[in-house]
Amino acid sequence: MISVSAPGKCYIIGEHAVVYGHPAIIAAVGKRCYVTADKYDNVKINSREIGEREFSIEELKIFALELRNKWNECNEKKDFSPLFSLLKQDSFNNVKAVVGEAMNVMGINDGCSIEIKSDIPIGSGLGSSSALAVATAGALNELYDKKLTREEINNIAFRAEQYAHGTPSGGDNTTCCYGGLVWFQKAQPKNIIIPLNYDKLEGFVFAYTKKPEKTTGELVQLVRNYDENERNKRMNEIGNMTKEMKEVLKNKDYKKMKAIINRTNDILTSFGLSIEETDKIYNAIREIDGSAKMCGACYGGVMLTWHEQPEKLIETIDRLGFTPFQTDLGVEGLRNER
Ligand code: PMV
């Protein structure tokens, strides 16, 4: 039996803009997805969230191939809704996709039991699906002693993310896989991935609002449907702020950092990505001279907030009736647990 884990992630800046080729700064967060795997006849998947079910190895491998074909079809038409409806049909489909994909890539023909335990709130902008994909691919690599490199594991997780979200940037799975604080930019032939070895980020508090009513794929599509010129202008501004943020974080220029975080939230809001709850938190935190932004796909989930006195953030978030929490930023990526 083996056990591995991968952390969730949080965009310090650059979500959505990263889809259009701009850089992003992403931190691995101290909430993790744990996957324990053992040899077994069929493939047994067990998770607190979705329960337990068994599948044949063949069924999972074929499912992953079907998803690949569907993805290609959707990519040609630039419309991923048929893929999303297929994925939504069964709560096991996301896990089936990554297990099937990993089995195809690794050439696995033996069964396994997979147990998933995750601390990461699902669909909240903290990379729950990426952490699951990285940890599952990492677990199968260990169980079958395939000796895949971290890059190869990351590629499997990216494929699973493509099935779940259509055109993910790859920033989520990369951060969950490598950990730390990451400068990420989508590029050909290879993405740019630079570890930012700064002092530990302090003073951030998360605020949990509620599970978004739209998926990441749907929210990325919503932004894509926006007027192209206007979208490019705003995404360029986020891209420029990301470049500034790199220096700001290094030099701990907190005044500037707050202004950038707030402006980022304004731009994300201008695309229709906010909800009443996130607006409420944002406004209250600005009133106490702090900063707040939505995270990941947005539309609820968690918000990232900052203030020189973090206790003021906790008090404000609490007072509004939401759940504040603090967790380390820049933690270790995929790792063996035993
Ligand atoms: O909501 P999450 O955790 O899946 O993050 C999505 C981040 C986006 O920039 C909106 C999409 C992407 O693939 O980078």
Q: Check pocket membership of 295 for ligand 1, CB cut-off 6 A.
A: no
Q: Check pocket membership of 15 for ligand 1, CB cut-off 6 A.
A: yes
Tens digits of residue pLDDT in 132-179 = 999 999 999 999 999 999 999 999 999 999 998 888 999 999 999 999
Q: Check pocket membership of 302 for ligand 1, CB cut-off 6 A.
A: no
CB 193 within 8 A of CB 175: no
pLDDT at 284 over 80: yes
Per the model's pLDDT, the better-predicted residue between 85 and 153 turns out to be 153
What is the DSSP secondary structure assignment for residue 146, as one 8-state letter?
-
Tens digits of residue pLDDT in 27-47 = 999 999 999 999 999 999 999
Cβ within 8 Å of residue 202, ≥6 positions away: none
pLDDT at 311 over 80: yes
> First vs last Cα of the chain: how many Å apart?
9
- Which pair of tokens denotes residue 282? 């944002």
Q: Check pocket membership of 121 for ligand 1, CB cut-off 6 A.
A: no
* pLDDT at residue 106 in the model: 97
Between the CA of 250 and the centroid of ligand 1 the distance, in Å, is 24
Q: What's the average model confidence in pLDDT over 271-294?
A: 98
Between the CA of 192 and the centroid of ligand 1 the distance, in Å, is 17
Tens digits of residue pLDDT in 240-256 = 999 999 999 999 999 99
pLDDT at 196 over 90: yes
CB 182 within 8 A of CB 193: yes
Band of pLDDT at residue 118, cut at 50, 70 and 90: very high
Band of pLDDT at residue 114, cut at 50, 70 and 90: very high
* Separation of alpha carbons 225 and 247, rounded Å: 33
Q: Rg for the chain (alpha carbons), in Å?
A: 19
* pLDDT at residue 81 in the model: 87
What is the DSSP secondary structure assignment for residue 91, as one 8-state letter?
T
pLDDT at 259 over 90: yes
Residue whose CA is at the smallest distance from ligand 1 atom 14: 169
pLDDT at 338 over 80: no
* Separation of alpha carbons 135 and 201, rounded Å: 25
Q: Check pocket membership of 172 for ligand 1, CB cut-off 6 A.
A: yes
User: How does strand 112-118 pair with strand 181-185?
Assistant: unpaired
* pLDDT at residue 325 in the model: 96
- Which pair of tokens denotes residue 134? 């990285």
Q: What's the average model confidence in pLDDT over 211-217?
A: 89
E-assigned strands of the chain?
2-13, 24-39, 43-47, 51-55, 112-118, 181-185, 192-195, 204-208, 291-294, 302-306, 323-325, 335-336
What is the length of the chain? 338
Between the CA of 149 and the centroid of ligand 1 the distance, in Å, is 24
The dihedral of CA 233, 164, 178, 147: what is its sign? negative
Q: Which residue has the tokens 């906790």?
A: 314
Mean pLDDT for all residues in the chain: 96
Between the CA of 39 and the centroid of ligand 1 the distance, in Å, is 33
Q: Which atom of ligand 1 is nearest to the CA of 128?
A: 3
Predicted TM-score (pTM) of this structure: 0.95
Band of pLDDT at residue 124, cut at 50, 70 and 90: confident
pLDDT at 228 over 90: yes
Band of pLDDT at residue 22, cut at 50, 70 and 90: very high
Between the CA of 17 and the centroid of ligand 1 the distance, in Å, is 10
* pLDDT at residue 291 in the model: 98
Helix ranges (DSSP H) in the chain: 57-77, 81-88, 93-106, 128-143, 150-165, 171-178, 216-224, 228-251, 254-270, 276-287, 310-319
User: How does strand 112-118 pair with strand 24-39?
Assistant: antiparallel
Q: What's the average model confidence in pLDDT over 267-278?
A: 98
Q: What's the average model confidence in pLDDT over 94-104?
A: 96
* pLDDT at residue 221 in the model: 86
pLDDT at 185 over 80: yes
